[in-house]
Chain A
C-alpha cells in the first residue's frame, strides 16, 4: 500500500481479554518494527522482523506479548490476558531494509478497562 496501515485504530478491551493488533507495511519493505508509546513518552522498541524472521524481541515486556509475520508482509502483535498497564499507543513502522528510513503507521490506541 501507499503507507503503513494499522488496525484497529482504537480498541477498548476488558482486563483479561486477548487482543490482536495488525500491521500492513509499505509494499516491498523488508523490515518491520513494533513500538509502544505511553502518554508523554517517546516510542519504546518492542520487536522487529526482517522478512518473516523475528530478529529481535528483547523489548517485549513479558511472555503475554508475542508477534508474528508469517509471510513476510502483514504482522500481528498479540497481547494475552491484557492488564491495565498495557494501555498505550502501539505503533508499527517499516523500512526498505534495516538501517534505512523508517515510516510509521497511524498507530493503534489500546485501552484496557
Chain B
C-alpha cells in the first residue's frame, strides 16, 4: 500500500511565526487530506486536496501530485494551532486512507 511520511516530527513556534509542514507519499494518490488533532484528541478536517492549492483563513495547502508531496502552511500562528497535524492519502489501487505519523506543533504565547 501507499506509504506516507511527514516532516518535521516536532515543531515549536513563537506566536505569530509562520511554518510549513510537509507530507510525502510513495505512489500516485486519489485523495489527500490534512487533519488537526487538537489537545482533546478530536481529529478535525482541514483540507481535502488531491491536487492544487486551497486556502482557509491563515491556513493553506498545496499538493503537487506529480512530485508526490503536499505542504500545509500556517501563517501568523496562534496558541490554538497547537496539536498534531496529520496527512492521510489513498492511492496505489486502494481507497483506504493511510496516515502519516504526524507533526506535533507547539505554539508558545
Partners in one complex: yes
Known: A99-B90, A101-B33. Is A107-B95 also a contact (CB below 8 A)?
no
Q: Is B43 an interface residue (CB 8 A)?
A: yes
B99 & A101 in contact (Cβ 8 Å cutoff)? no
Count of chain B residues with a beta carbon within 8 Å of a chain A beta carbon = 20
Known: A99-B90, A101-B48. Is A43-B99 also a contact (CB below 8 A)?
yes
Q: Is A98 an interface residue (CB 8 A)?
A: yes
Residues on A with C-beta less than 8 A from B66 are: none
For window 63-102 of B, CB contacts with A under 8 Å fall at: 86, 88, 90, 95-102
Residues on B with C-beta less than 8 A from A45 are: 96-98
Identify B95's interface contact among A43, A44, A98, CB under 8 A: A98
Q: Is B41 an interface residue (CB 8 A)?
A: yes
Identify B101's interface contact among A41, A106, A107, A109, CB under 8 A: A41
| B21 CB, min distance to chain A CBs, angstroms | 14
Residues on B with C-beta less than 8 A from A56 are: 96
B30 & A99 in contact (Cβ 8 Å cutoff)? yes
Q: Is B56 an interface residue (CB 8 A)?
A: no
B45 & A43 in contact (Cβ 8 Å cutoff)? no
Q: Is A1 an interface residue (CB 8 A)?
A: no
- Where the two chains meet, the residues of B that have a C-beta atom closer than 8 Å to any C-beta of A are 30-31, 33, 35, 41-43, 45, 48, 86, 88, 90, 95-102
